[in-house]
A and B are shown apart, each in its own frame.
Chain A
Amino acid sequence: MARKLTRPTVYGVMAEFDDPTHAVAAAQHARAAGYTRMDAYSPFPIEALSEAVGLPKNNLPLIVLIGGILGGLGGYLMQYYLSVWNYPLNVGGKPLHSWPAFIPITFETTVLGAALFAVFGMLALNGLPEPYHPVFNAPDFALATRDRFFLLVEWRDPKFDRAVTGDFLRGLEGVKGVSEVEF
């Protein structure tokens, strides 16, 4: 595996499709052929395509739960600390710790915390913002945000070989073109 330790000249080999079914079938074939380090690019979310390229464990729901708990606790404890400890003020004879009145703000900060964690968690897990990525060098890749579908086998894949992998992708049904992606 010494070959993998140095950066090779190409990032991967990319196959282009103009139909979602062919793209998903290609990803499934590549997976069956033993490729593991793959990614696919599509102009809209396709669940089967994400599954075919091999899904990582999705930690986002847990992150959102943590965000919600932190937001809720933070909101409640802030009100408790400010009203009971930091500056106890008798308002209309109500108890200092009048917890029912603290619930609406606690609810709002819970939602706020969860929503912030959902958005920034998703971006962080996806590694965005990432202005430059080698796949942008692939021919026609600008169409990945219009009407084309791409399947990429990365150089990190243990089975990756420029010639063999390229031939494999060229043999897939519905493929419109295969190219090597420069770094």
Chain B
Amino acid sequence: MSSRRIDEPHDWTGDIHTTPNPVIQPGHTFGSVTDKISALVLFKRTPLGWWIGFGISFMLANVLMMTIGYLLLKGIGIWGNNQPVGWAFAIINFVWWIGIGHAGTLISAILLLLRQNWRTSINRFAEAMTLFAVAAAGIFPLFHTGRPWLAAYWLFPYPNTMNIWPNFRSPLMWDVFAVSTYATVSALFWFVGLVPDFATLRDRAKSRASQIVFGMLSLGWRGSARHWHRYETAYLLLAGLATPLVLSVHTIVSFDFSIGIVPGWHATIFPPYFVAGAIYAGFAMVLTLTIPLRKFYGLEDFITMRHLRNSAKIMLATGLIVGYGYMMEAFTAWYSGSEYEGFMMKNRIWGGPYRSIYWLLILCNVLAVQVLWSKRARHNVWVLFTIAMFVNVGMWLERFVIIVTSLHRDFVPSSWGMYRPTIFDFSMFFGTIGLFLTLLFLFIRFLPVISIFEMRTILPQAALDEEALES
């Protein structure tokens, strides 16, 4: 049942301790791993850089709060979306954030099932990223309703006095269930992973306040062998449940578009193409965040170049799938023989007013990532960080292209229009980046950024000496 043992016969990542690319630098013991990670939370002085980063993020988060305040006062007319582009930044940002979250679940659940031991030192951080990204995503549809205090009965089957219910045949309803389930399961998975580490922090803490807080959060965990057995079962089952869940979430997000009959949206390739794009964006964000984190917090022993290189390889693979998706979109538009599909694609690529954004998207998402074929590029932290930034921007542009270029040319030319974002579109978007980073900074300061108990399992000392034991 123990899925994270290193002495498994099917460890096709190679022996993680003897290869020249270790997932943890040699020389560490159970004690040193525990002390190093828990000291970040309990004993180390909060670095000045943390205060600066947190301060800037928190200011941006306040920009979000002010935008929301003004939005509630005036209504969603402060945004630039209007007929025919009724969906713009709100849904672009929603899909962008949800996609970023997907890498966290991929790392924590899918790579666990595939016995990829290298995931161990980045899964906690990636799961946190998932949760905060989903939180940032949820803000957009909620406030796009304009009256979020009524959203309870618009979005959920809430028994109200008017006796009306949401329409379950609508993909937007599926989306509500998919995203809320995803948020719940991700939070549960994260918390379950944290319980043994809370116990470690409880036992290491010197101040009474930390002892009480971590004591409560640890639920009285004492590392009993019977408890571990059920814990491992639960963790593995959760991973097994999260795997189809994460694939379903972005599939359903793509249904928001593909169930509609708008040219540019109504395509069967959307679900796999969206899932690949989500993982692509997510790994770009993992690299964007872990590269500075390991540098500033001295975690190079635990988050090694091997993690960064593997993330780069996943980015390259999913980037190619996304590139294939773009090709198939264009091919299907031509092959369908549909006049509207053909016009949409021509308008998107070279005729229309947003064509420069399309070519920027191809540069960021298809061309930039090709650099990662080179081994030297994958070994260079600066190159990886730059490519990751290209992908972060590119995936946002992709949603802009899909949503805005498909909508701004309606079926009848008299209904054509243009979309121009207002300052409030931008302040809301950058505000959610502030919220996301604020939550991440708080997480780095108050919780163990690396799963301590899982790091112990990948140490060479954790392997049992089978000869000294009975069968």
Contact = CB atoms under 8 A, between A and B. Distances in A.
Given A47-B1, A128-B220, A115 B233 contact: no
B238 interface: yes
Main secondary structure on B side of the interface with A: helix
Interface string B230-246: 11111001100110110
B461 interface: yes
A118 B237 contact: yes
A48 B469 CA distance: 10
A130 B220 contact: yes
Interface string B94-107: 00000000000000
Contacts of A78: 157
Contact of B454 (A44, A75, A145): A44
Contacts of B208: none
A61 interface: yes
Interface residues of B, number: 72
Given A144-B223, A145-B203, A91 B255 contact: no
A83 B170 CA distance: 12
Nearest to A104: B174
Contacts of A128: 219-221, 227
A58 interface: yes
B226 A53 contact: yes
Interface in B1-59: 1-2, 4-5, 29-31, 34-35
B172 to A, nearest CB: 11
Given A43-B223, A123-B219, A147 B30 contact: yes
Interface in A1-35: 19-21, 24-25, 27-28
B149 interface: no
Nearest to A19: B461
Contacts, number: 213
A146 B30 contact: yes
B237 A64 contact: yes
B241 A83 contact: no
Interface string A59-86: 0110010000000000100110011001
A116 B180 CA distance: 13
Contacts of A20: 461-462, 464
A41 B131 CA distance: 31
B326 interface: no
A163 interface: no
A121 B192 CA distance: 12
B117 to A, nearest CB: 13
Given A44-B456, A105-B177, A111 B241 contact: yes
A135 interface: yes
B229 A58 contact: yes
B248 interface: yes
A118 B469 CA distance: 33
Given A20-B461, A21-B469, A94-B169, A104 B223 contact: no
Contacts of B34: 43, 145-147
B404 to A, nearest CB: 26
Contacts of A136: 222
A48 B229 CA distance: 10
Contacts of B200: 43, 145-146
A102 interface: yes
Interface in A79-111: 79, 82-83, 86-87, 89, 91, 94, 98, 101-102, 104-105, 107-109, 111
Contacts of A109: 177, 181
A40 interface: yes
Nearest to B189: A115
A46 B225 contact: yes
B181 A111 contact: yes
A170 B216 CA distance: 34
Contacts of B255: 104
B469 A83 contact: no
B234 A102 contact: no
Residue among B29, B165, B229, B252 having the largest count of chain A Cβ atoms under 10 Å: B229
Interface in B440-471: 453-454, 456-457, 461-462, 464-465, 468-470
Interface string B156-170: 010000011101110
A39 B221 contact: no
A43 B174 contact: no
A169 B309 CA distance: 48
B228 interface: yes
B188 interface: yes
B156 to A, nearest CB: 11
Interface string B181-194: 10011001101100
A64 B240 CA distance: 11
A18 B405 CA distance: 64
Interface of A: 19-21, 24-25, 27-28, 39-50, 52-53, 55-56, 58, 60-61, 64, 75, 78-79, 82-83, 86-87, 89, 91, 94, 98, 101-102, 104-105, 107-109, 111-112, 114-116, 118-119, 121-123, 125-126, 128-133, 135-136, 141-147
Given A50-B228, A144-B223, 7 more contacts: A42-B223, A56-B226, A75-B177, A86-B165, A108-B174, A111-B241, A131-B220
18 contacts: A20-B464, A25-B469, A44-B454, A45-B2, A48-B469, A52-B225, A56-B226, A82-B165, A91-B167, A107-B248, A114-B237, A123-B219, A129-B219, A131-B220, A132-B220, A144-B222, A146-B34, A147-B31
Q: Which 3 residue pairs of A and B lie closest in terms of their CB atoms, listed nearest first?
A: A147-B30, A122-B234, A129-B219
